[in-house]
Amino acid sequence: MGHRITTQARGKGGPTYRAPSHRYKAALKHVGNVEVTTKGTIFDIEHDPARNCPIALVKLEGGEKVYMLVTEGIGIGDDVAWGSDIEVKNGNTLPLSGIPTGAYICNIEAKPNDGGKFVRASGVQAIVVDKAEDKVGVKMPSGKTKWFNSRCRATVGIVAGGGRGEKPFVTAGNKFHKMANTASNWPRVRGVAMNVIDHPFGGGGHQHPGRPKTVARGTSPGRTVGHVAARQTGRARK
């Protein structure tokens, strides 16, 4: 049969294909819940291997230290807060019902008090566009409008670290160290460049698949490559 192809190895799992979460610093969840107001001061700005945006180390009033996503414009010494009866300003986290229409927000909860799930990548933001009873409409970075429970919390502002995609890696070593902190498949080798025992498209006198690239959904794992369960094949004709 040959060797297991990369898809099979990744599906089986193992340390080679697992994200190195032991290097990550924190889960970055909102502090407390909607009913409780919590305040703190940004103690330090740090790098987190788990993400491409900076994170802030916040010292709460009780002395506890937690991490949070950094929004553009806040720095060491600034005050931040979580709650419903707080000022709507950059870096503060409030329920969507308390954030005015047109405001930029990030780190939005999918359900009340789940800590934040959406709009967390560097340089992205969502916009509050509409409110209706207990629902709030938010225009997501994709351009689509998503409706959330009005008690879901979100941080006011734009996630810091925007423009990171404009800086080139320059060296393969820089790309290696970035990808080493993710569960991504890198470097990715083309199937047609492999040997015949390593991939269904491997081998041959020159680099070509040598077989149809469209396969059925139920094909055996070692053959599930190319266009899996394609809706259509061949040239699109009008």
155-179: per-residue pLDDT in tens? 999 999 998 889 999 999 999 999 9
Considering only the top CATH level, what class is 169-228? few secondary structures
pLDDT tens-digit profile of 117-126?
A: 999 999 999 9
Q: How many CB atoms lie within 10 A of CB 46?
A: 13
Mean pLDDT score of the chain, rounded to an integer? Answer: 92
Residue 218 to residues 14, 225, 229: CA-CA distances in angstroms? 24, 12, 9
pLDDT at 1 over 70: no
Three-state secondary structure call for residue 53: coil
Tell me where in the chain the CATH 2.30.30.30 domain(s) lie: 21-165
* pLDDT greater at residue 71 or residue 238: 71
Structure tokens at 211: 């077989």
Tell me where in the chain the CATH 4.10.950.10 domain(s) lie: 169-228
Q: What string of DSSP letters covers 129-175?
A: EEEETTEEEEE-TTS-EEEEETT-EEEES-BS-TTGGGS---SHHHH
The count of residues in the chain is: 238
Residue that is written with structure tokens 């032991």 in the block: 22
pLDDT tens-digit profile of 89-104?
A: 999 999 999 999 999 9
Q: Which CATH architecture has domain 21-165?
A: Roll (2.30)
Lowest mean pLDDT among 1-15, 98-112, 205-219: 1-15
Q: Give me the pLDDT at residue 74, please.
A: 93
Residue 202 contacts residue 191 (beta carbons within 8 Å): yes
Q: Is 113 left (phi over 0), alpha (psi -120 to 50) or beta?
A: left
